[in-house]
Amino acid sequence: MLGPFTIDTIFPGFQQLGEQFDIGTAALQQVTSAYLVAFAVMSVVHGPLSDALGRRTVMIGGLAGYVVASIACALAPSFGWLLVGRAAQGVFAGAATVVSRAVIPDLFSGPTARRLMSQVMLIFAVAPAIAPVIGGWLLLLGQWPLIFWFVAGYAVLGILLVVLALPETLPPQDRTPLRLGSVVGGLWTVARSWRFERLAVAGAMTFGAYILYVLTAPIVVVDLLGQGEQDFWKLFVPLIGGMALGSFTGGRLASRVTGERLVDVSMVAAVVIGLLNIALVWISPSLPWAVVGPALFGVVIGLAFPVVQLTLLELFPRHRGSAASMAAFSVLLSNALIAGVVGPLITTSLVSTAATSAAFATVGALLWWWHRRDPVVVQEADAAGQ
């Protein structure tokens, strides 16, 4: 939960940050994008390191660095130093979030792996949904630095859980040499695969239709819907409810419906939901109609995203850490651009926000359709059917 949890725990504190450092909404969005850019860049490193050093070592080291970075944020004397601390959080947070994805295919495959990845997606859904609610509660007890002290304590708990409860899932004989050539070679093997690139962008775009509302929540909730610091739950409860329902349903369907067919239906649904969302906020730009579309996007992401992620990892069984890193990089880079560039530009109204979300969903669906029509993919599907 650490990676997505860190994104928006601080959202309710944006008003205090703006007043203390005398900055506006666009500058405050950089608190999110600084974290996401660093997370995206370093996510490329964590996976290959875990392929060489083992999963637990990288996770524990990253969590320890995250604790230090969070304390630096809490003690930041200026907005510039706060951004440095946020970037440092991003550097280390991926060690747990990215590497955890590689643990599942280390141990499981087929429907079991899909069920577990759906559970992970449910956890990922809980994190950004409860984070701003917890942040709002913390502001009732103190000022914004308390939020960073809280996430530092959360990371300490994460270290204890990994040390006490998580076995090493990558035995030494299956590890790659810790050499620059091996690390870069693994990443290059993944990155140069056109099938991987197309599928990764499809997943990132579809996820973008949903995460747009998470990353621009301070603007959507406060500026567009006219709510207060303790009202983020009005957006995030529907978001988490939708993804929880999708993740639960996807897990139950894992042994009944093929992953590809599930994603086929989900992608069509995403395009329809995008159009419905535009219509709803055009007719009634207020609650509860403004959160119906985002909640339905959550259902689609909960169904489709675990399958897409497993498909990406299964393309490279000898480089799962590298594949997990590159898959995370594509999503995180997209998230960073949404938070720092796209979000401030398009959140002028609920209609423009909904239209952008629909565009992301459409691009993702088209890329998935292209992937499914790839002759190699069709041949593999036929072979599996036989």
Domain that holds residue 176: 2-385
Contact 357, 175 (CB under 8 A): no
Token pair of 68 as six digits: 């230090």
Q: What's the pLDDT band for 215 if we cut at 50, 70, 90?
A: confident
**Residue 38 vs residue 274, higher pLDDT:** 274
> 380 pLDDT exceeds 80?
no
Predicted pLDDT of residue 290: 93
Contact 333, 203 (CB under 8 A): no
- Domain CATH number, residue 313: 1.20.1250.20
> pLDDT tens across 237-262, in order?
898 889 888 888 887 787 788 888 89
Predicted pLDDT of residue 379: 54
Q: Is the preceding peptide bond at 288 cis, omega within 30 degrees of 0?
A: yes
Query: Cα dihedral sign for 14, 341, 71, 153?
Result: positive
> 378 pLDDT exceeds 60?
no
* Spatial distance between the Cα atoms of 160 and 32, rounded to a whole number of angstroms: 27
Please choose, from the candidates 188, 169, 185, the residue with its C-alpha nearest in 3D space to the C-alpha of residue 177: 185
Model-level pTM greater than 0.75?
no
Predicted pLDDT of residue 384: 43
The count of structural domains within the chain is 1
Contact 2, 96 (CB under 8 A): yes
